[in-house]
Amino acid sequence: MTSLFRKEIGTLVFYLLAGFLAGWLFSHAAFGLFLGALLFIVKYLWQLGRLTQWLNQPEKEPPEAKGIWGEVFDGIYHYQRRQKSSQLHLKQILNRIQDSSQALRDGVVMIDGKGNLEWWNTAAEALLGLRSPSDLGYPITHLLREPSFVEYYESQSYQDPLMLASPLNEDRSLEFQVTLFGGNERLILVRDVTKMQRLEVMRQDFIANVSHELRTPLTVLSGYLETFSDHAENLPTKWQRGLTLMRQQSVRMQQLVEDLLTLSSLETSSFEAAIEPIAVPELIKAIKTDALALSDGKHSLVLEIDADLGVYGSEKELRSAFSNLVFNAVKYTPAGTEIALSWYQNAEGAYFEVKDKGQGIDPACLPHLTERFYRIDKGRSSSTGGTGLGLAIVKHVMLRHQGQLEMTSKQGVGSCFTCYFPLAKTALLTHQG
């Protein structure tokens, strides 16, 4: 019990005793006691009245009081001042955040829990044509009606950004990145990526043009080198080794150019799926024959195939992707090991799986395998004719088929490369005869 509280009890006892004694003098001790208590209560009510009056005008200084009431007034007064100063601090921080967001060149739009526009910066006005304050409180999807934006916005899955033409200028490209926070509120960041996209197109065009231009001279070089190699016995021995190396490297360069052209066509051309489902079982059997020729009988290839399962897509692209995986298994596993090819379906979709019993891949390298020109063992890859573009091609092909490439590997046990196709892409094959 604090000393002030003890003092207050003392005051109450004093009031009661004084009332009792005064009442006793006039032979009404009980009435005097009641009067003492009443006086004490009236004093408390008066202080409470002062407190409420002051609380209604918080800008005023607190009323003067002694004892416990003085303590109450002071306590509330100091609490109010602390609150005010932290509010001021928060307001300053908020203002600074708003000021810095205003200064951003990227658009920032805040959407409340009901999907309505709550706040945006000036860049968002310039990029999206939002008008302040007339658009405030309107659903964002009423102002940005582009179906792909509405679908992206409502999907609630925002791992990847969305690219869209600006609603104000078709020639400009915008990148939307939505983040969910709090109770279903959203923060939308909008970036003008027109320059970056132009650069990307330039890069793609440059690679495609260079590769295309290199194709003819390389064919000529390679053709002559092959003819010379056929008559190598007529050449001095010291030239023969040089010729063999030139021949090997020209074949590698040709393969590189072909892979670059395949990649650039995957990046730039629109996807053309065949109307009829692709007979994947036949495709795999043909690839197996080619792989056996490449292995030269050094590996055994085992097939486990669902003969009725097909997919909708591009046969040329799938042939390229599947061959890359199977040929890699041949190239990067020791002679005498087994390679298992499976084609099957489950409730989620269809899978083409290439499982080898090679040395496996370091887990740290796995995430990089689909990067262009990434090779784990550069020397070995070149000696096997690898370009470092194979798995990048597979990844692109699978993305174009709305599927994905999955890779698992255990060192010393082997690797497994799986092409996954969503259920909607699968088809039942009809067999004639």
Q: Which of 291, 415, 418, 427 binds ligand ADP (CB under 6 A)?
A: 415
CA of 323: how far to CAs of 19, 153, 173, 361, 370, in Å? Answer: 107, 38, 36, 19, 15
Q: Which of residues 243-272 bind ligand ADP (CB under 6 A)?
A: none
Q: Which of 324, 352, 396, 419 binds ligand ADP (CB under 6 A)?
A: 324
Copy the structure tokens of residue 223. 């053709």
Name which of 313 and 386 has its Cβ closer to ligand ADP: 386
Name which of 304 and 377 has its Cβ closer to ligand ADP: 377
- Which of 3-11's residues contact partners 24+ apart within 8 Å by CB, and which partners? 4/67, 4/68, 4/71, 5/68, 7/67, 7/68, 8/67, 8/68, 11/40, 11/67
Copy the structure tokens of residue 246. 């030139």
Copy the structure tokens of residue 2. 């604090």
Name which of 117 and 256 has its Cβ closer to ligand ADP: 256
Name which of 111 and 405 has its Cβ closer to ligand ADP: 405
Min dist. Cβ of residue 248 to ligand ADP (A):
15
Closest-CA residue to 342 (of 308, 310, 302, 299): 302
Q: Which of 15, 20, 153, 332 binds ligand ADP (CB under 6 A)?
A: 332
For ligand ADP, what does the binding mask look like between residues 36 and 75, x meaning CB under 6 A? ----------------------------------------
DSSP string, 76-141: HHHHHHHHHHHHHHHHHHHHHHHHHHHH-SSEEEEE-TTSBEEEE-HHHHHHH---TTTTTTSBHH
> Is residue 304 within the footprint of ligand ADP (CB under 6 A)?
no
Name which of 277 and 388 has its Cβ closer to ligand ADP: 388
Please state whether 402 falls in left (phi above 0), alpha (psi between -120 and 50) or beta.
Answer: left
Q: Which of residues 78-97 bind ligand ADP (CB under 6 A)?
A: none
Name which of 121 and 415 has its Cβ closer to ligand ADP: 415
Min dist. Cβ of residue 95 to ligand ADP (A):
52
Name which of 147 and 379 has its Cβ closer to ligand ADP: 379
Helix (H) or strand (E) holding 68: helix 67-103
Q: Are 124 and 136 in contact (CB under 8 A)?
A: no
Name which of 320 and 415 has its Cβ closer to ligand ADP: 415
Q: Which of residues 337-376 bind ligand ADP (CB under 6 A)?
A: 356, 358, 361, 369, 374-376
Q: Which of 211, 295, 320, 328 binds ligand ADP (CB under 6 A)?
A: 328
Q: How many residues lie near ligand ADP (CB under 6 A)?
A: 21
> Which segment (92-100, 211-219, 292-300, 325-333) binds ligand ADP by CB under 6 A?
325-333
The tokens 């003969």 sit on which residue? Answer: 307
**113 Cα distance to chain centroid:** 22
For ligand ADP, what does the binding mask look like between residues 369 and 408, x meaning CB under 6 A? x----xxxx---x----xxxxxxx----------------
Q: Are 262 and 204 in contact (CB under 8 A)?
A: no
Q: Are 141 and 157 in contact (CB under 8 A)?
A: no
The tokens 């004694």 sit on which residue? Answer: 21
Q: Which of 140, 266, 329, 427 binds ligand ADP (CB under 6 A)?
A: 329
DSSP string, 213-253: HHHHHHHHHHHHHHHHHHTGGGS-HHHHHHHHHHHHHHHHH
Min dist. Cβ of residue 423 to ligand ADP (A):
27
Min dist. Cβ of residue 296 to ligand ADP (A):
17
* List of residues contacting ligand ADP (CB under 6 A): 324, 328-329, 332, 356, 358, 361, 369, 374-377, 381, 386-392, 415
